[in-house]
Amino acid sequence: MTLYLRLGAEVAAALEEGRPLVALESSVVAHGLPRPENLSAADAMLSAVRQEGAVPAMVALIDGHLHVGLSDEEVARLATTDKVAKVGRRDLATTLAARALGATTVSATMIAARLAGIRFFATGGIGGVHRNWQSHPDISSDLAELARTPVAVIASGAKSILDIPATLEALESLGIPVVGYRTTRFPAFYVADSGVSLDQSSEDSVKLARIAAAQWSLLPDGGLLIANPPPAESALDAATLESWTAQALREAEEKGVTGSAVTPYLLGRLHDLSGGKTRVCNVALLLSNARLAAQVAKEFNTLEHIS
């Protein structure tokens, strides 16, 4: 335990009793969705985890502490406060020292989960290698975090605005297992098939739990990525999405959008170009990933008790 860590009552009780838990990031609440949809989506994710028999543990930085497991009031504060800090690995110490309100991204949520003893984490999609990385190197810290933090991330692959083949090459180079759930194709957030095949897949949560157990038995310091395609009813056509993405990238370059502003700009433009379909898909895949994470956490918990 760290001096800065604060466990919510429900999370602390679940850890004490050996019940399965699922970590959830808070950046999607503070930054990923507009009001009031952000709060309703957060409530739905928390409920989805509980309905599958696990305990949700949303993570955020509040008043100088790293909270794992938030109250309804704390979730609402994140959803309604302006200028919430977006916190990755590099931002944890400065945000804590400033006692600022911070919403965690993938890397920071993984760190919090590890500190709390939580093995599974559901999110929308991981970051990765950005397009045009040859001339403008931009690689998400999510990849390095997956290589060194023993948490299984359940996500709909990587965000479609990234260089997907380069992202998968980086994952392979870092030794991070990528396992498709009921798919042999790597999903790219809004689309079920990025065009890149996967070497490993599983048809059920039992096998996923066994893979996670084997991974941590052999390599206790690394994580893994479970790639769960977006629900078929909300997934978008890959060719159409690529056309929109190319247009949004051109516009971003013309407007001089750079650095950390690129991703939110692109996602905002994709929302506009799709007539809101990307946001519908985003919420649907968040709920799907939360449910799957809870199912795998339950199966893993059973394996631990048997062993």
| Calpha distance 28→33 (Å, rounded) | 6
Catalytic residue among 25, 52, 145, 299: 25
Catalytic residue among 86, 159, 277, 298: 159
Active site residue 159: yes
Q: Give the SS3 label for residue 307.
A: coil
Alpha-helical runs (H) found in 186-261: 205-218, 238-255
| Calpha distance 162→147 (Å, rounded) | 19
Active site residue 25: yes
Q: Is the peptide bond before 36 cis (omega within 30 degrees of 0)?
A: yes
Nearest to 157 by CA among 131, 179, 134: 179
Beta bridge partners of 180: 201, 227
Handedness of CA 101, 106, 107, 110 (dihedral sign): positive
Residues labelled catalytic = 25, 159
